[in-house]
Amino acid sequence: MIAAVDEFILYDDMQYTRRDWRNRNQIKTPQGIQWLTIPVKVKGKYEQKIKETEIDGVEWAQNHWKSLCQHYKRAPYFTKIAVWLEPLYLGETFSHISQLNRRFIEAICAYLSIKTTITNSWDFTLLDGKTERLADLCLQAGGTEYISGPAAKDYVDEKVFADLGIKLTWFDYAGYPEYPQLWGEFTHGVTILDLLFNCGKDAPRYMRYVA
């Protein structure tokens, strides 16, 4: 999705929610799918914004990297990816989950030569109203089309975009071509690191750059 747009806005002014993809992802192992989760500090019933959510401890980084080494060291491009990925895990520290996510997203985009502008929602003036806020972000960014993940269909009012003359497109994650993977039959929905370790610079052949 990032490669399909001119500007990608990290929407971190919203309330943090548990069991989403912000602090965890899946890798493929000989025993099946395994979650890698970054522990975070929460207030009450998750009464903080995403951008306010702090990472709890530093041990997770070493543990995650050990897991990646253990399960992907046989992958064709592991060594080349590790050159820039390992320092992110073991050479840098992050206080907040948003800070970490942006750093990793930018590093992966750089490797894939994705030159999309990445900004934060707090760089803009934010209106009230879920859909109104999204549509106004597009206007402030000078956009004429908003590309959204399909999960947002549950709360986005398409008429708001139509009234403002902004095209609303739903990104489709289905039907990606299979690529060579380790450990048995192909599995969709795992971290992009799985694709990078297995395919290296050929990764874009298996990615959808258009909605």
| CA pair distance 137, 153, nearest whole angstrom | 18
Range from 36-40, 119-123, 151-155 that averages highest in pLDDT: 36-40
Token readout for 205 is 């052949």
What is the dihedral sign for C-alpha 55, 152, 107, 141? negative
SS3 148: strand
| pLDDT tens sequence across 139-195 | 999 999 999 988 888 889 999 999 999 999 999 888 789 999 999 999 999 999 999
Question: What per-residue confidence (pLDDT) applies to 46?
Answer: 66
Q: How confident is the model at residue 44 (pLDDT cuts 50, 70, 90)?
A: confident
State mean pLDDT over 36-58: 90
Question: What per-residue confidence (pLDDT) applies to 209?
Answer: 64
SS3 114: coil
Question: What per-residue confidence (pLDDT) applies to 152?
Answer: 87
Amino acid 197 reads F
| pLDDT tens sequence across 52-110 | 999 999 999 999 999 999 999 999 999 999 999 999 999 999 999 999 999 999 999 99
Q: CB of 99 within 8 A of CB of 23? A: no
Question: What per-residue confidence (pLDDT) applies to 174?
Answer: 80
Evaluate if residue 43 carries a pLDDT over 90: no
Q: What angle do CA 74, 79, 84 make, to 5 degrees?
A: 140
Question: What per-residue confidence (pLDDT) applies to 176?
Answer: 84
Token readout for 105 is 């997203």
| Cβ neighbourhood burial of 13 (10 Å; 0-12, 13-18, 19+) | middle
State mean pLDDT over 110-121: 95
Q: CB of 194 within 8 A of CB of 186? A: no
| CA pair distance 14, 31, nearest whole angstrom | 35
Question: What per-residue confidence (pLDDT) applies to 211?
Answer: 38
